[in-house]
Structure 1
Amino acid sequence: MKSRSSFLALGALLSLLVLCQPHAAAQTFVNGGAGKEPASVKAGVSFVWLSENDSQGLMFSNNFSHYLGKRLALGLNLGLLSAKRYDDAKQIYTIQNTFYMGSLEAAFDVMNGEKVDVRFGAGPAFRHRAEINSDPEGQGTQDGSVTHIKTSDVGFHGFLENDFDILRNGIAGGKISYFHFNKGTPILSIGLHLGFRF
């Protein structure tokens, strides 16, 4: 019994030592991305178009991704979107959207160079939306001539992205994304990002 406890303690210690060195292990076996570093953090801003509402705005996002191999990476993306539509005839905003968004991403580098990466990616997406809408089709809570909608949706996210190396570990690039949800308007976004690899 005592030898079994010692064996389990030794196994736990070896596991801890291996887990404490993920960066070195990743650099040895991964060697992925333009900067040859396994992980990246990026902040971006995108112009967005919401097709059903015909409204436009901006989305601010933060992304963390980690390479699992030379070309395959997994990531998490979190963002805040604000979009509006102004009706010139009524002289009011007939649509106002605020979305808190997130998505999990799996990406594959179709071009993996020394200075430039180009990748396709996709994954599940979710959002919490708060809208003021003058044409809600039976949704939300009526307030005079407009309706307030607060709900959450799940869906799918697909994107095309590129990264360029800048300075030592810096990256900059662009991203085209499409979000489709089970309810509410889909989103098309085109934007730029800036970040670093580590």
Structure 2
Amino acid sequence: MRSTIPSLIFLLFFLTVNYSYADDYSRFKSSSAKDPNNFKAGISFVWLSDYDSQGLMFSNKFGHYFGERFSVGLNVGLLTASRYDEGKKIFSIKNTFYMGALEAGFDVIRNEQVTLRLGVGGTARRRNEINSEPDDQGTVDGSVVHIKTSDTGVNGFLENDFSFLRSGIIGGRVDYFYYTSGTPVFGIGLHVGFRF
């Protein structure tokens, strides 16, 4: 009799915890079906590997879920970066990129509070640069070269979202953009948004 009471208590505790988890999961599943869209605004610190320059990228992303774990998104942004040459006392590189990407993501971890997503996509950018490197193409103006061109490529990302309030999202993102010409871009950033 004494050994059955603790066993019975443990069984009731186990069933209560499982019922609570199942209830939370069903509520989460129904809320993700009810709110399949999301919008996020973010800022990232970026490194441009070809020119050893750094800067900021501001982005807005709209995403939509198809099913429980697969999503597609449209990401648009503005990147600005530069490198200052102490010897010449000028900015030897100044970059401004208008960027866009169509992305597909898969949620590796997804529950009511946390989402971890891996994704890939196609990307395009409008590249405006002022460059003092002699081997780049463009219109020579004194000691610098003006480059205005468009590039296409691919990107990969790792993103996490934390839920807050009823439909709020806050999280981080690591991006890598590779283009057919011009410098690749690596970025680490934060975003905030909402589901609807």
Q: Structure 2 length as normaliser, TM-score? A: 0.83
Paired position in structure 1 for 2:10: none
1:21-40 Cα distance to aligned partner (Å, 9 max, x none): xxxxxxxxx94887962110
Paired position in structure 2 for 1:186: 184
Amino acid at match of 2:55: G
1:77-116 Cα distance to aligned partner (Å, 9 max, x none): 0000000000111111000000000000000000011100
Aligned ranges for residues 122-141 of structure 1 at < 5 Å?
Answer: 122-141=120-139
Q: 1:39 to 1:88 in 2, by over 3 A?
A: same
Which of the numbers 69, 84, 87 marks the counterpart of 2:85? Answer: 87
Identity %: 60
Which of the numbers 87, 112, 115 marks the counterpart of 1:114? Answer: 112
Aligned ranges for residues 69-80 of structure 1 at < 5 Å?
Answer: 69-80=67-78
Distance in 1 (alpha carbons) for counterparts of 2:174 and 2:121: 14
Distance in 1 (alpha carbons) for counterparts of 2:52 and 2:186: 11
Paired position in structure 2 for 1:195: 193
Contact 1:35 1:169 (8 Å CA) reproduced: no
Aligned residues: 169
Distance in 2 (alpha carbons) for counterparts of 1:56 and 1:33: 40
Q: Which has the larger radius of gyration?
A: 2
SS of the aligned residue for 1:52 comes to coil
Structure 1 runs (4+) deviating above 3 angstroms are 30-36
- 1:181 Cα offset (Å): 0.1
Q: Structure 1 length as normaliser, TM-score? A: 0.82
Distance in 1 (alpha carbons) for counterparts of 2:125 and 2:55: 16
Q: Which runs of 5+ in 1 are unaligned?
A: 1-29
Aligned ranges for residues 139-154 of structure 1 at < 5 Å?
Answer: 139-154=137-152
Contact 1:175 1:192 (8 Å CA) reproduced: yes
- 1:167 Cα offset (Å): 1.0
Amino acid at match of 1:128: R
Distance in 1 (alpha carbons) for counterparts of 2:108 and 2:74: 20
Aligned ranges for residues 1-198 of structure 1 at < 5 Å?
Answer: 31=29, 37-198=35-196
Distance in 1 (alpha carbons) for counterparts of 2:82 and 2:190: 21
Q: 1:147 to 1:74 in 2, by over 3 A?
A: same
